Chains A and B, each alone.
Chain A
Amino acid sequence: MLALLDGENHGYALMRRVEELSAGAVRMGPGTLYGTLNRLLGDGLIIETTDRVPREDNERRRYYQLTAQGATVAQDELTRLRTLVGRFSPLQPGLGSAGP
């Protein structure tokens, strides 16, 4: 979901974005990626925008975008992670920007 905060994206680009955001630590396979997207679609946190946006490329790709609820959840998660890092940074030197 954090990978969709920048805007709509398709499966392969999302996979790359997750890899980039996690500095290569998380490399999703096709099954995990589409399984996750399927679950987020079911929960109403993302929508498929393939048919609504005209495409320049000829490839048949499905694009996904956060819904308003999904954006709120992603922002909340971001805030939660920031708070967590902020709280633990003084205890762990070198962790995050709040460290010594």
Chain B
Amino acid sequence: MTARNAHLAVYQRMTRLYPSSFRHNYDADLVALFAKQIEDELPARVWARTLRDLVISVPTQRLETHMNRPSSHLLTALSGVGAATAALLAFTLGTGPAMPVFLVVAFIGGAIAVWSWQAGQPVRADKVAGKSWWKVLLAGPALAALTFVAMAIPWPEGMDLGDNAYWLIVIAFMTSLTLAATGLVLGIVAVVEGRRTRQLGTSPT
């Protein structure tokens, strides 16, 4: 192996630090350009410049690839299908002991689906999460009220959940409490922030 080829082999290995998409497009060009530099200049000088270049360009390319990653449609679809399947199984099993587990899986799957769908949407200035605190606050009592109604309804024989109903009620109340508490905290933060912004806007300059 000639000295030139040894330099190229080392650099080729180092290009593996770049993200695969970048390497797929430019690997041959990177090595060809490095080879041309090695032919024209002192190898030590080329290596000094190339190492500096790697230190800067590898994190840059990794960050760019991360920022331009495809949207989370696959995760949304998978978790949505998983949630639907778990919910279907829960209601098919009726009063079986696995029913609460399937319901929890369905709830978590649904939450992941909603979260990943929202994460894939472009961020809009007029749709800041802090402005939706009242929806979260109202969702808690609404879920609690729904649970009370469900408890009060005399369910037909075939739809009676038996002992599993206890766990369902516990999960529903815990969720409603969490939602109400989260909404309250977000509301307080939004009110304090709003007051501070107004004070800054009206303060003499």
* Chain A interface residues (CB < 8 Å from chain B): 11-12, 15, 27-35, 38-39, 59-62
Contacts and interface: CB of A to CB of B under 8 A. Distances in A.
A30 B28 contact: no
A61 B37 CA distance: 15
Contact of B30 (A31, A39, A60, A61): A31
B22 A38 contact: yes
A24 B34 CA distance: 18
Interface of B: 18, 22, 25-26, 28-30, 32-34, 36-37, 49-50, 52-54, 56-58, 60-61, 64
Chain A residues touching B, majority SS: helix
B33 A30 contact: yes
A31 B29 contact: no
B33 A35 contact: no
B57 A11 contact: no
Contact of B54 (A12, A15, A31, A34): A31
14 contacts: A12-B36, A29-B52, A30-B29, A30-B34, A31-B54, A32-B53, A34-B22, A34-B30, A35-B22, A35-B57, A35-B60, A35-B61, A39-B64, A60-B32
B22 to A, nearest CB: 7
B33 A27 contact: no
A32 to B, nearest CB: 5
A30 B61 CA distance: 12
A27 B61 contact: no
B53 A60 contact: no
A100 B21 CA distance: 52
In the complex, the 8 A-B pairs of residues with the closest C-beta atoms, listed nearest first: A29-B53, A31-B57, A34-B26, A30-B30, A30-B33, A31-B53, A12-B36, A32-B57
Of B33, B49, B50, most A-chain CB atoms within 10 Å: B33
